Amino acid sequence: MTIALYPGSFDPGTNGHIDIAIRAAALFDKLFVAVYDTPSKQLLFNTKERVDLFEKAVAHIPNIKVIPYTGLTVDFARKVGAKVIVRGLRMSSDFEREFEMALMNKKVAPDIEVVCLMANLEFQFLSSSLLKEVGSLGGVISTLVPKHIEEALRKKFSSTRKQ
């Protein structure tokens, strides 16, 4: 059985992230979507919210499990028995960052492979940061995230405007 790990902050998960997860789940026996607990960027959603939102988006895929994690991704991959780390690539700038990360991971964990899936063409431009910016300004995001994530974003944005 081949287990893979798809790590990220997923703040929030977008249709692009979900597309990569679904496609990776078709390639591997089990896929852990690993929501990083303490990224170095400011988050809109806490870890539990990010896990719950992604979990709901992929609930119909039986071989995906969404879990939080901390520490080095390769250490967590070993902990869950993953032999593969899945990454999504959008633009060439993603490639450079992912290439550096893959080489570092290979140095510290030569037993774990990195598999990169190209983002679907309709999501090439999409990032959580850009999504949050558009959503916070009242832009249309309904084609970029599942309905429940759109609702969670709208709720977050309306509560931050009131403060």
Sorted by where each starts, the structural domains of the chain and their CATH numbers stand as: 3-162 (3.40.50.620)
Alpha-carbon gap, residue 10 to 33, rounded angstroms: 10
Q: Which residues contact 75 (CB under 8 A, 6 or more apart)?
A: 109
What's the pTM value of the predicted model, to 2 decimals?
0.93
Strands in the chain per DSSP E:
3-8, 30-36, 64-69, 84-89, 113-118
Give the model's pLDDT for residue 40: 80
Give the model's pLDDT for residue 97: 87
49, with CB counted inside 10 A (0-12, 13-18, 19+), is middle
Q: For CA atoms 98, 101, 106, 109, give the dihedral sign.
A: negative
Give the model's pLDDT for residue 41: 82
Which tokens belong to 124? Answer: 């090439």
pLDDT digits (tens, 9 = 90+) for 112-127: 999 999 999 999 889 9
Alpha-carbon torsion angle 89, 94, 95, 99, nearest 10: -110
What are the residue numbers of the active site?
A: 17, 41, 90, 128
**pLDDT under 70: residue ranges of the chain:** 160-163
- Identify which of 154, 146, 155, 161 has the alpha carbon closest to the alpha carbon of residue 58: 146
Give the model's pLDDT for residue 152: 96
How many helices and strands, by DSSP H and E, does the chain display? Answer: 6, 5
